[in-house]
């Protein structure tokens, strides 16, 4: 009976554990993680030894699985955050403690750091997966340290970490069954970031000089300072030339568009002008018809002479000539006789007139 109650209580705690984890995550998102104290375990349940299988099945709400992850965490980047995310999600109810080594230990066993230990502590405190930050963490984990902080498991990548005269500082942790591996993120590490900066040192030195840093702050010699400043001026001139080129290309493009439009309009107007010209002066054009009409009128005028005016003085007759019969009076002043119907009629009238003149003589 007691055993059944324990099983029921354990299942209830396992069901409530995700809710507790969500509450803890909300707290982590709204405020930074706490710093570890001398005895940081506030578990009210007895701290019994757990196996990995038990931890994965779930633990009571007041008995979270305490996972420890340590490191230098210099230039805190996404690779660090992903490793801590994996450690936080190893078990349903996980309390993640992150140990950060001091500058003294790091400079002694690994090398010089970019960030100070206080900067590295603060970087870890503001990571969403961290519940607690342990300052001045030891380089090698001892059983006394693990017992003091009630650590159940240690999370780290599975690659042997040789340091401080040991082939693998986590070897005894692995043998004790307390090691849980995480995966490294390829392509990103603190060493890679430093390599990028060293490789492009001149670029970053010029960048910071341009932003107002002094040569003394950058540890740059006088000659290099002048060289970098000259290079910055050359780059600015190149940028201006590039800007002018872009503007000129835009201007030329606009001119080409305008010229294309003008040429197109000119072609349209030219076609319209040529069409009008051909319509007026072409073989069947309007001008030819007008010219033919006017030529016909002029020819008809030339072939039909006009009558003499009625008020002209009469011509005196010589005594030898007989008077000619009187001509009928003109109905209209300056009346013009009708033109002959054909050129043959006109020639016949001309010949008759010439014969009449000869008879009078």
Task: Kindly state the tokens that stand for 5.
Answer: 């109650």
* CB-based contacts of 280, cutoff 8 Å, min separation 6: 286, 287
**Longest CA–CA separation in the chain, Å:** 183
Residue 45, pLDDT score: 54
> Pairing state of beta strands 65-71 and 132-135?
unpaired
Residue 331, pLDDT score: 46
CATH architecture of the domain with range 2-187: 3-Layer(aba) Sandwich (3.40)
**With b meaning 16 or more CB within 10 Å and e meaning fewer, what string describes 143-153?**
eeebeebbbbb
What value, to the nearest 5°, has the Cα angle with vertex 38 and ends 36 and 40?
A: 50
By C-alpha distance, which of 31, 117, 104, 108 is closest to 73? 117
Residue 311, pLDDT score: 55
Q: How far from 248 is each of 17, 245, 263, 284, CA to CA, in Å?
A: 67, 5, 22, 52
Residue 34: phi, psi to the nearest 5? -85, 160
Residue 182: phi, psi to the nearest 5? -120, 170
Residue 232, pLDDT score: 83
Summarize pLDDT for 231-253 with one digit per residue, the tens.
888 888 888 888 888 888 878 87
Residue 78, pLDDT score: 95
Cα distance between residue 96 and residue 133, in whole Å:
9
Is 341 exposed, middle or buried (CB count within 10 Å of its CB: 0-12, 13-18, 19+)?
exposed
Residue 46, pLDDT score: 59
Cα distance between residue 40 and residue 333, in whole Å:
143
Q: Which residues of the chain have pLDDT under 70?
A: 1-29, 38-46, 164, 282, 284-285, 287-288, 303-361
Residue 93, pLDDT score: 95
Q: Please report which residue ranges of 32-162 form alpha helices under DSSP H.
A: 52-57, 78-88, 103-109, 117-125, 143-148
Cβ pair 17, 58 in contact under 8 A = yes
Residue 55, pLDDT score: 94
Summarize pLDDT for 307-333 with one digit per residue, the tens.
555 555 555 544 444 445 555 554 444
Residue 359, pLDDT score: 46
Residue 19, pLDDT score: 40
Cα distance between residue 216 and residue 219, in whole Å:
5
Provide the whole-model pTM: 0.58
What are the extents of the domains in the chain? Answer: 2-187, 200-260
Cα distance between residue 350 and residue 315, in whole Å:
21
Residue reference for tokens 């099945």: 57
Residue 155, pLDDT score: 97
Residue 324, pLDDT score: 52
Query: What is the SS3 assignment for 166?
Result: strand
Signed CA dihedral, 29, 128, 174, 72: sign only: negative
């Amino acid at each position: 009976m007691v055993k059944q109650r324990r099983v029921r209580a354990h299942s209830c705690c396992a069901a409530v554990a995700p809710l507790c984890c969500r509450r803890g995550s909300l707290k982590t998102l709204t405020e930074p993680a706490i710093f570890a104290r001398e005895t940081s375990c506030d578990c009210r349940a007895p701290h019994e030894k757990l196996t990995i299988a038990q931890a994965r099945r779930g633990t009571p709400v007041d008995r979270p699985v305490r996972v420890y992850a340590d490191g230098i965490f210099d230039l805190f980047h996404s690779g660090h955050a992903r490793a801590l995310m994996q450690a936080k999600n190893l078990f349903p109810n996980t309390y993640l403690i992150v140990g950060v080594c001091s500058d003294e230990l790091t400079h002694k066993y690994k090398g010089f750091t970019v960030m100070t230990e206080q900067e590295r502590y603060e970087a870890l405190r503001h990571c969403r997966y961290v519940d607690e930050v342990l300052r001045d963490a030891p380089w090698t984990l001892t059983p006394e340290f693990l017992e003091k902080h009630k650590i159940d498991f240690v999370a780290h990548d599975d690659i042997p970490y040789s340091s401080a005269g040991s082939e693998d500082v986590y070897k005894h942790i692995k043998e004790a069954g307390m090691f849980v591996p995480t995966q490294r993120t390829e392509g990103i590490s603190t060493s890679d970031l430093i390599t990028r900066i060293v490789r492009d040192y001149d670029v970053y030195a010029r960048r910071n000089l341009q932003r107002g840093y002094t040569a003394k702050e950058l540890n740059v010699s006088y000659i290099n300072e002048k060289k970098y400043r000259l290079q910055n001026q050359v780059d600015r001139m190149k940028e201006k030339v590039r800007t002018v080129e872009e503007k000129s290309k835009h201007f030329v493009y606009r001119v080409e568009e305008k010229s294309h439009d003008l040429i197109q309009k000119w072609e349209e107007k030219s076609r319209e002008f040529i069409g009008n010209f051909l319509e007026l002066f072409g073989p069947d054009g309007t001008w030819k018809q007008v010219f033919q009409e006017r030529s016909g009128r002029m020819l008809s005028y030339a072939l039909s002479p006009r009558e003499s005016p009625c008020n002209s003085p009469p011509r005196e007759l010589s005594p030898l000539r007989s008077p000619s019969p009187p001509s009928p009076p003109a109905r209209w002043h300056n009346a013009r006789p009708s033109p002959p119907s054909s050129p043959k009629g006109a020639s016949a009238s001309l010949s008759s007139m010439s014969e009449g003149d000869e008879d009078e003589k």
